[in-house]
Amino acid sequence: MAAPVSLCYEDSSVYPWITGTGQGLAILQMQLVAKETGIEFEFMRLPWKRCLLEVEAGRIHAAIAASYNKERATWGVYPHRPDGKLQRDYRMHTDSFYVYRHVDSQIRWQAKGFQHLGYEAVGAQLGYSAGTDLEEAGYRIKYYPASSDLLNYLENRMLQVIVLQDHEAKRQLSHRPSLRDIVIREAPPVKVADQYLLFGNAFYKANKAQVQTIWQSIEKVRKSKVYLDEERELLGSGKVTGDK
């Protein structure tokens, strides 16, 4: 009997993809992949930065819902087309990340960057590529483990601007009415990112056929009625994000 494929996912809420231990659309998706392929998965919930480090070190085989960045591509493998571009068909889902500012802040976000930021730091979640991208663009970033931490600092004016995943931010704000009048979402998004099952180099090289089977099944499951029905229920009516 083949050994299970070990997968890690983050220990903070990322609504609707990860909503608790063993819960969320991303976990359901991989459970459906297991059922469809007969491949056994072992799930581990870890701080996101540690999850990525464990995959990089080869102690865990893959990270659930990782967006692309150059640093991760040095130690991990994303699905690619023959022309070398990312194979979007094999994505798990697509996420949008936005800047949220305090209502009294003069800082603004536009497509080309921040205005009136000065020496202020931008808050972001630890290990998230949206924060890393901004840091690489020259902005000063302060990292915190959870979206709730960032909103607390914004509420207390310890941060003027933060970056959050869109659905998770909406969920947090719906549960914290006191924030609705003081937190403003800036448009356009900082980043719109496909999220993939990211495999470590060593596991991929030793199991290319199995990895390809898993990626192909992710596409099939993402388009399945079972998955789409659950997605619509969690995200509400209107266009869903998982099959853009």
pLDDT given at position 244: 27
**What is the per-residue DSSP string for 196-220?**
EEEEEHHHHHH-HHHHHHHHHHHHH
pLDDT given at position 59: 98
Q: DSSP state, 128? A: -
Residue from 123, 109, 136 nearest 163 by CA: 123
Would you give per-residue pLDDT tens digits along the chain (244 residues)? 679 999 999 998 899 999 999 999 999 999 999 999 999 999 999 999 999 999 999 999 999 999 999 999 999 999 999 999 999 999 999 999 999 999 999 999 998 899 999 999 999 999 899 999 999 999 999 999 999 999 999 999 999 999 999 999 999 999 999 998 999 999 999 999 999 999 999 999 999 999 999 999 999 999 999 999 999 999 873 333 333 2
C-alpha distance from residue 159 to each of 14, 135, 141 (Å): 21, 16, 11
Q: Which domains does the chain have, with CATH numbers?
A: 5-92+193-235 (3.40.190.10), 96-191 (3.40.190.10)
Query: Cα separation of 5 and 168, whole Å?
Result: 28
pLDDT given at position 1: 66
Residue from 131, 134, 149 nearest 11 by CA: 149
